[in-house]
Chain A
């Protein structure tokens, strides 16, 4: 669907054409970050060097980056798929949180299973939870016209309350001496293993990205999703069931987010603990926009963000810079990548028209 220019002989130029905006956005964001670091009295070069070392300084560090990237890929795919259907799924956060919670529950409560059953089971629990939780805003959007942005944000708060309730109530970790509200650690059989430094979860995430790319670009379902996202009226005219498609897109998006939460629980944290997944859904927005909704590019942008997260602690420790500088860089990056015009204006670039994102505007109360 997305052949951009017919000049395929010059694919290098083509690649540059499609990555230049995100790439330049990253550079600009790092510059802004450096300025903020300077203002707050830190040495930006030192900070970035420690950040880099923290991310890639050893096999152990690289493994951590891959671990951190895994949930980001899923969250990014969730948001990207929503965008394809014209939906802004800010609720990936809540879907992810509940997915993490359910995977955490299945991870500790179900005992005596071999890993090859327990891991898929816990992942499935996360997937279904995310899907069901995303179905709500999907249905509301399709049948009552409630704008998904507000309903999903509100559901994020509902999700926080729900997960708090379970972690300090019925599913609380009752290990003697524990005063924190959290779930017990998952069984070893639910922990996602590694192959060398590569977490199996990361491999699954990469395969999922390829699958989603195929679905979006080569199947009738993908054709329908794209059509609804770009022009819901024409899609209805063409006989597509637009309302059902909106719900379906939300459900798939939520399922991806749910799996993202599950792999976070099973591959990074080792249990469900409220507060450990905050912001992952919002990171998904950055990942998706940085990747311009291309599922394959989602892998790269997740790795980039994952590297920043993986290296952040080292940077905080050795360069004495608060972690939140990562949030600022990420926010600025998001700003630059979305406000393409800014980047174009700074670097005097020509307009490229086929990567526009169409998100519904207004509150859709027809």
Chain B
């Protein structure tokens, strides 16, 4: 097999390849949901099998079953035609299965080498044999062209390199089957290309890859075969040759999906948010945000594109009052804002949809009633002279549930019992029902199903059309490109460029995300 992407030919050949792994009739339930409902799949030697589905379709659950992290309620797994009981990751590793998880499974304070060794330690007498491990790692890096410093500490490596460590970790354990769970979420388009090349190199060596994703373009670019899952079930099997983006999207969601967000041209007004020379140092006195100056005008969406971990979180936390910044100035409607005073910002018309909805956005143990007044409980009509008005709080919750389509049994349902999409709607409802002139939305659709994503995109556009300034931070390039009027690209805490969304190309933004400034 050569290195060109002649997948049609490969796909035809693939049918002759032997089946290495087979899962038959897997059932897995969690309290309240059926995650896998009679799921079967087969993986052939040396192929890239894409497992496509929305968030919550059950892809990761299935892979965690195969990797031994979960135990299936029913169903069997066959390895090379033999039934193979996988009760824990140890069994999976012994069977030559490796997995790169969506959230990296690396010990942040350990070195690359220590992470390699963990669970597969080479010892000399009672002691660790770090030399032998290092030699093995260097061999692997060389033969696969995956360069890495064995003594680097994980938390000091950029995410792209951390992913490389994860792949090396699997190779270190001599995998024959490699499961990649949403591996491109943290990569630039160019890094994604690089990853696909590595995947090809692996399959040439006989490694079989299961590639979990919800991104249609990627599936078409790299997969030999595609299995589509929806609501815990396999709904179709196809190949890139037989289908296109629209076909995949409708199979994945179960209905026609509009891939583009429709919007009218922006009616831009005065500047609502001004950020000047913002600098943030992290705990080690390194810059996590360097000299950012930006402005958001009424009636536009300013998108901030960038690979996760390039200072976006710190930037948003600083402008929303959750983090101290070292220098710079933030103005809303021309008024200078104080440091670390979220309430002042709220009073000046800022709404904040936080990145981590469970950490910052909600008190999970609280009922919806309380969560809906989390930022306004101290004001009339929700309280007077420090005493809460329960009736008003309940009425408010009922109204917002109706208006923002929050599906919950009752207003006193505990927020933690809701699905991710409904939790996000609670936050969006709470934030956008106030009198606002500026919305800061950080990763507002992460981990949501397509229906909720569409809803939140629509709501943001509505806010824009109503004359509100929107600052959208997202590491999903597609999201940035479809919603924004202007796009700023952040790289290592700096804004490299601000582009007009109508004129910017995917490639151009991708290069900027990787730090390449075009001449």
Which A residues form the contact surface with B (CB < 8 A)?
A: 1, 3, 6, 218-223, 226-227, 230-231, 233-240, 353-354, 356, 358
CB contact under 8 A between A230 and B363, given known A6-B412, A223-B377, A236-B322 = yes
Residue of A220, A221, A240, A354 ringed by the most chain B CB atoms within 10 A = A220
Q: How far is the CB of B375 from chain A (nearest CB, A)?
A: 5
CB contact under 8 A between A237 and B370, given known A219-B386, A219-B387 = no
B374 touches A (CB below 8 Å) = yes
13 A-B residue pairs with Cβ-Cβ distance under 8 Å, sorted by A, are: A1-B366, A1-B367, A218-B388, A220-B388, A221-B386, A231-B365, A235-B363, A237-B360, A238-B374, A239-B341, A239-B343, A239-B346, A354-B414
> Residues of A contacting B388 with CB < 8 Å?
218-220, 222-223
Q: How far is the CB of A317 from chain B (nearest CB, A)?
A: 48
> Residues of B contacting A239 with CB < 8 Å?
321, 341-344, 346, 375
B342 pairs with A230, CB closer than 8 A = no
Residue of B321, B343, B378 ringed by the most chain A CB atoms within 10 A = B378
A6 pairs with B410, CB closer than 8 A = yes
> Residues of B contacting A235 with CB < 8 Å?
363
Determine the residue in chain B with the shortest Cβ distance to A358: B365
In angstroms, Cα B363 to Cα A1, docked, is 12
In angstroms, Cα B365 to Cα A231, docked, is 9
Residue of A230, A236, A237 ringed by the most chain B CB atoms within 10 A = A237
Of B363, B386, B387, the contact of A231 (CB 8 Å cutoff): B363
In angstroms, Cα B379 to Cα A220, docked, is 10
B361 touches A (CB below 8 Å) = yes
> Residues of B contacting A356 with CB < 8 Å?
365
Please encode chain B, from 364 to 386, with 1 for each CB lying within 8 Å of some chain A CB and 0 for all others: 11110010001101100001001
Determine the residue in chain A with the shortest Cβ distance to B414: A354
Of B341, B366, B387, the contact of A218 (CB 8 Å cutoff): B387
Of B321, B346, B374, the contact of A234 (CB 8 Å cutoff): B374
B387 pairs with A220, CB closer than 8 A = yes
> Residues of A contacting B360 with CB < 8 Å?
233-234, 236-237
A234 pairs with B367, CB closer than 8 A = no
In angstroms, Cα B366 to Cα A354, docked, is 9
Determine the residue in chain B with the shortest Cβ distance to A227: B363
In angstroms, Cα B344 to Cα A118, docked, is 45
> Residues of B contacting A1 with CB < 8 Å?
366-367, 370
In angstroms, Cα B375 to Cα A220, docked, is 11
B352 touches A (CB below 8 Å) = yes
In angstroms, Cα B371 to Cα A231, docked, is 12
> Residues of A contacting B344 with CB < 8 Å?
239
B367 pairs with A220, CB closer than 8 A = no
Q: How far is the CB of A9 from chain B (nearest CB, A)?
A: 15
A237 pairs with B387, CB closer than 8 A = no
CB contact under 8 A between A234 and B361, given known A1-B366, A220-B383, A223-B388 = yes
Determine the residue in chain B with the shortest Cβ distance to A222: B388
Determine the residue in chain A with the shortest Cβ distance to B354: A237
B359 touches A (CB below 8 Å) = yes
Q: How far is the CB of A19 from chain B (nearest CB, A)?
A: 20
Residue of B342, B359, B363 ringed by the most chain A CB atoms within 10 A = B363
In angstroms, Cα B434 to Cα A238, docked, is 13
Determine the residue in chain A with the shortest Cβ distance to B357: A234
In angstroms, Cα B64 to Cα A280, docked, is 50
B362 touches A (CB below 8 Å) = yes
In angstroms, Cα B106 to Cα A344, docked, is 36
Q: How far is the CB of A210 from chain B (nearest CB, A)?
A: 15
In angstroms, Cα B317 to Cα A236, docked, is 11
Q: How far is the CB of B109 from chain A (nearest CB, A)?
A: 15
Within 8 A of A (CB), among B59-107: none
A236 pairs with B412, CB closer than 8 A = no
A237 pairs with B361, CB closer than 8 A = yes
In angstroms, Cα B313 to Cα A267, docked, is 57
Give 5 closest A-B pairs by Cβ, nearest first.
Answer: A239-B343, A239-B342, A237-B360, A238-B374, A231-B363
In angstroms, Cα B363 to Cα A231, docked, is 6
A353 pairs with B354, CB closer than 8 A = no
> Residues of B contacting A227 with CB < 8 Å?
363, 366, 374
In angstroms, Cα B362 to Cα A226, docked, is 13
Determine the residue in chain A with the shortest Cβ distance to B375: A238
> Residues of B contacting A358 with CB < 8 Å?
365
Please encode chain B, from 206 to 247, with 1 for each CB lying within 8 Å of some chain A CB and 0 for all others: 000000000000000000000000000000000000000000
CB contact under 8 A between A234 and B362, given known A218-B388, A239-B342, A353-B414 = yes
> Residues of A contacting B367 with CB < 8 Å?
1, 3
> Residues of B contacting A3 with CB < 8 Å?
367, 412
Within 8 A of A (CB), among B394-416: 410, 412, 414
B359 pairs with A234, CB closer than 8 A = yes
Residue of A6, A233, A238, A356 ringed by the most chain B CB atoms within 10 A = A238
A223 pairs with B352, CB closer than 8 A = no
Of A222, A231, A237, the contact of B342 (CB 8 Å cutoff): A237
Q: How far is the CB of A176 from chain B (nearest CB, A)?
A: 54
In angstroms, Cα B320 to Cα A218, docked, is 29
> Residues of B contacting A220 with CB < 8 Å?
377-378, 383, 386-388
B387 pairs with A230, CB closer than 8 A = no
CB contact under 8 A between A234 and B412, given known A227-B374, A239-B375 = no
Within 8 A of A (CB), among B166-207: none
Q: How far is the CB of A248 from chain B (nearest CB, A)?
A: 13
Of A218, A230, A237, A240, the contact of B352 (CB 8 Å cutoff): A237
> Residues of A contacting B321 with CB < 8 Å?
239
A354 pairs with B365, CB closer than 8 A = yes
A236 pairs with B414, CB closer than 8 A = no
Of A6, A219, A223, the contact of B370 (CB 8 Å cutoff): A223
Of A6, A222, A234, A353, the contact of B363 (CB 8 Å cutoff): A234
A233 pairs with B386, CB closer than 8 A = no
Determine the residue in chain A with the shortest Cβ distance to B371: A234
In angstroms, Cα B190 to Cα A334, docked, is 59
Q: How far is the CB of A86 from chain B (nearest CB, A)?
A: 11
> Residues of B contacting A219 with CB < 8 Å?
383, 386-388
Residue of A218, A227, A230, A231 ringed by the most chain B CB atoms within 10 A = A231
In angstroms, Cα B374 to Cα A354, docked, is 19
